[in-house]
Structures are given as C-alpha cells and as structure tokens.
Amino acid sequence: MNEDSADFVSRMDSGLIDDHAFINPLGNLLALCSDHNNDRKIMISVSGQEQDTQPPLPLFTSPADGAVSQNVLSRVGISFSDWVDPKSVNSSTVEVRHLSTGELIPGTYSTMMGIVNFVPDSPLSLNSTYDVVLKAGGVKDQLGNSSASDVRVCRFSTGSQLTDYKVTIQQTTAVPVGQQAQLTLAVTNPSGLDLEHSWNFGDGTGDSVFSPSATATHTYNGKGNFTVSVRTRITGTAYSPSVNGVQVVHGVIPAQMPKIQSTIVVDPDRSLVWNVNPDNDSVSGIDPTAFARIHETAVGDQPVAVAIGSQDRLWVINKRSSTLSVINRASGLTVNTYELPKGAQPHGLVVDQATSSVYVSFEALGEVARISETTGQILGRTHVG
C-alpha cells in the first residue's frame, strides 16, 4: 500500500475455502494463516525481491507525543511498522523515564504482533513529564533488524504542560584556518533541568565528552563548511538528541589584498570614477554624486584597463596601439605615453605603489612585464605561457 493506492506484487492462492484472516509480515515474506476449516492453514508468499533491512518503525504511540494532562495510571503503547520479536522487548530496549529526575520507570512489557505495551508497576507522578525511548540495537523485527541509534518516540505529561528544553546553535562567525572558533548554544530550559552537551565539530576529531558548558572553542586546520553537531541530554540519562549548525572556515586573508586589473576604478583622493572607453579611444572621469562627466581624455588605440598609481598618476593600457598612457588625475590631462613592444597586445594592468612598479601582461607574447612607474622603462619580462 502507498497511501490510497497499491502496487500488485504477487498473488497467493488461498484455496477453495477462502477464509484466511491473518496476514503476518516476515521481512520480504508474508505468512497467511487461518484458524478455520481450511486444509491450507499456513501459506508463505514472497512480497518483495529485496531483503528487508529496515528496522521496525514506531508509527503510533499512546499517549501521543506532546500529550498533556495524562492520567497517572496511564499505560504506554507503541505500534510498529513490523511484527516485533517479543524476546527483544524489555527494560533495556524500551525505556520510560521521568524527564526531570532521569528515573527509569519499572514495569511490565507485553507484545502482540507489531504492538508493544508497557504497564508501570506503580502510578506515575503527578505534574511530571516522561520520555519513551527506543534504545539503539534494541527492539527487533522478526529478521533481527533494529534501530542504529536511540529514538525518542514520545514525550507526555501528567500535568497541564510539558517539562521541556530547547537547544540551538547560535549563528557562527567565519574564521580563518588556524584561528580558534567560538561556538555557543542558545538553551531554553524553563524547568532548570540538569543538562549536559557533547560537541562534534565536523572535522573528524570526534565527539567531546559531555559537559554542562553551553560554549566551546575549536581550531580547524583546514578550510571548508563544517557541520557542527551538539548532542544534549539530561545528566544521568543516555538519550541525547542532536542539533546542527555550520562553521565556515576560510583561508587566511592577507593584510594587503591582491590587486586586479579593471576597466573602472575609484579615485582615492577625489570624488571621481575613472573608466575606459575602448570604442572612443578615451578615458572618462565621472562625478559619482552628480553623475556628471568631469574629464574625457584621449589616449591610445583601444584602451582596455586603468589603474591608480602614485603621485596622482592614472595608468591606462592601450591594446591595439601597444602603448601605456599616463593621466594626471588632478587635471585630467595626459602627461606621458610609453611605447611597448609592437604587436604585444597588452591587456592586463596592475600597479604596485609600494615598489613603484607597473605590471602589464603581453597577451600576444605570453609575457608579463615589470615597468618603472617613474620612467616608464621596462625593467624585466617573464614568459608565463
């Protein structure tokens, strides 16, 4: 069955007397049984080709998860997706615990097909909250499948409200590799439960020991987006649901940012934005507030990049004419033009004011040249491919 539809898998012939009343799922098999006058008391049919490896899933509980004002004589019932192995149901596989004290409630267990029931030995406490937890590797189906981790199936209260807590990981701040990350939990705990937390920082270093501290620090040795998990439990109990967050770790950012070429730059000394006009062989200086053109200076053929230099210089690379133009940023006038190798098709342009150097890439030659910002002389050329 799939909601309101069903897929045909196989057909089982129940014989002339069709009064079989009991369908028993056994993994990928079905046992069809009858207690009437039928010579085919038990029939086995294949319900699927794949081996059943899924654990029995809790589908319904009584009391329901979140129920309040429950009677102190309440019993606990769990309906599973599969028939369970009665031998796997006991106090070490199905726990009913007092949430505040962590006390394990003693009682009697019973099973019928896919239903497990629990009857406490004595009445529950008034105005108390209880957790029903399936332990990892505990309750099994007829094939031995069981849950790989603890599962809380319901929490209910014999009072008017649940005693509960909520834990989230506060938004983290990105840190560079090698710098300590500061992690903090936001804990809502109105009942003052004795909580403890275990951190997993998502980088393979494993789980930390449980601690009542809601903060943690960790140093990452590599960059990436790390999933941080925190398991929280009441001290003295084993059930520990988890919450997740993300810690971003990036590469170390240098104090001096790398320079890149651009077709547009902001003047650091005045309210001007400089940009190349490759189709008009000029460079414009625009007032970014008034949106007015203050300068338009003729340069070489096909200017493709500009860069801010020292002493009010604006450097311009002209690709087709293979020249470097120098504009005075205060006056907007061209003050120098330097010839570059013919046919070099210069394209990239950056200026290192600390060393008074201009770096230009020669696209046609596969080279990068270092040029003196003072004289315009080529100081060196490196083949880069």
Tell me what the mean pLDDT of segment 221-225 comes to: 95
- CATH architecture of the domain with residue range 264-383: 7 Propeller (2.130)
Q: Taking every pair of C-alpha atoms in the chain, what is the biggest distance, in angstroms?
A: 113
User: Is the confidence at residue 167, as pLDDT, over 80?
Assistant: yes
Looking at per-residue pLDDT, the higher value among 62 and 31 belongs to 62
pLDDT band at 1 (very low <50, low <70, confident <90, very high): very low
Give the C-alpha separation, 171 to 165, whole Å: 19
279-288, long-range: CB within 8 Å, 24+ apart, which pairs?
Answer: 281/318, 283/314, 283/316, 283/325, 283/327, 285/329, 285/332
Of 35-39, 142-146, 232-236, the one with minimum mean pLDDT is 35-39
Over 90: is that where the pLDDT of 205 sits? yes
Section 106-111 average pLDDT: 97
What CATH number does the domain located at 58-157 have? 2.60.40.1220
Average pLDDT across the chain, whole number:
90
pTM score: 0.54
Query: Is 185 within 8 Å of 170 (Cβ atoms)?
Result: yes
pLDDT in tens, 257-305: 777 889 999 999 999 999 999 999 999 999 999 999 999 999 999 999 9
CATH for 167-250, options being 3.40.50.620, 2.60.40.10, 1.10.3470.10, 3.30.70.3340: 2.60.40.10
Banded model confidence at residue 155, pLDDT cuts 50, 70, 90: very high
Q: What is the mean pLDDT of residues 356-361?
A: 95
User: Is it true that 58-157 and 167-250 share their CATH fold?
Assistant: yes
Q: What is the mean pLDDT of residues 147-166?
A: 91
CA 187 to CA 166: how far, in whole Å? 6
| Residue 58 confidence (pLDDT) above 90 | yes
Give the pLDDT of residue 9: 57
Confidence grade of residue 18 (pLDDT, cut at 50, 70, 90):
low
Planar angle of CA 268, 271, 273, nearest 5 degrees: 75
Of all residues in the chain, the percent with pLDDT exceeding 70 is 93
Residue corresponding to tokens 């290192």 = 352
Ordered by start, the domain boundaries in the chain are: 1-52, 58-157, 167-250, 264-383
Q: How confident is the model at residue 38 (pLDDT cuts 50, 70, 90)?
A: low
Query: What average pLDDT does the segment 176-196 reach?
Result: 92
Q: How much of the chain, in percent, has pLDDT values that exceed 90? A: 73
Mean pLDDT of 161-180: 92
Check: CB of residue 334 under 8 Å from CB of residue 318.
Answer: no
Residues 6+ apart with CB under 8 A from 376: 324, 326, 336, 338
Residue 323 pLDDT greater than 70, yes or no: yes
